Structure 1
Amino acid sequence: MPVFRHINVVLTTAWGAVFAVMAVSTWLAVRTPSASDWLNWVVPVVLLIWALKFTERYPESYRSRAVGPA
C-alpha cells in the first residue's frame, strides 16, 4: 500500500503544480498582452502534455524501483 500511496501523492502534487502554473500563466497573459498567445496557449499545452506523459510513465517507473525486478 505505501507504493500506491506514494505514486498518488506524487501525481496529485504534479497535477496541482501544473494547474497552479497554468493559473499564473493566464494571470500573466492578462497583464502582458504582447505575450498572451504564449502564456494562454503554448505554456498550458506544454504543461498538459508533460503532465500526461508523466502520469503515464511515473507509476511503472516508481514501482519497478520500489519493488525491484520481478
Structure 2
Amino acid sequence: MLSTIHPMLHDGDVALVGHGHALRILTGVYLRRDPRFGRHLDFQTGALAILGHHHEDPVIEAWNRRR
C-alpha cells in the first residue's frame, strides 16, 4: 500500500481512511518498524493522525487529534 501512495506524496498531501487496527500497522511500517509495532499505538475512533518527515526520517506529527 505505501509503495502505491509514495509517488503521490510528491504532488501534495494524501489522506487515508481506514480501520484503526490497519492504520496502526500502516504507521508502524511507515516508521520503518516491524508491522507489529502498531500494537503499541492507541488510535481512538474518529481521530486523526498526521505522518510526515523530519529531514529524511519518517515521524508522527500528530496522533489522536480531534481537530
Instruction: Tell whether the structures are fold-level matches, with TM greater than 0.5.
Output: no
- Structure of higher RCO (CA pairs closer than 8 Å, 6+ residues apart): 1
TM-score by length of 2: 0.22
Q: Which has the higher helix share?
A: 1
Q: Which has the higher strand share?
A: 2
Max radius of gyration: which structure? 1
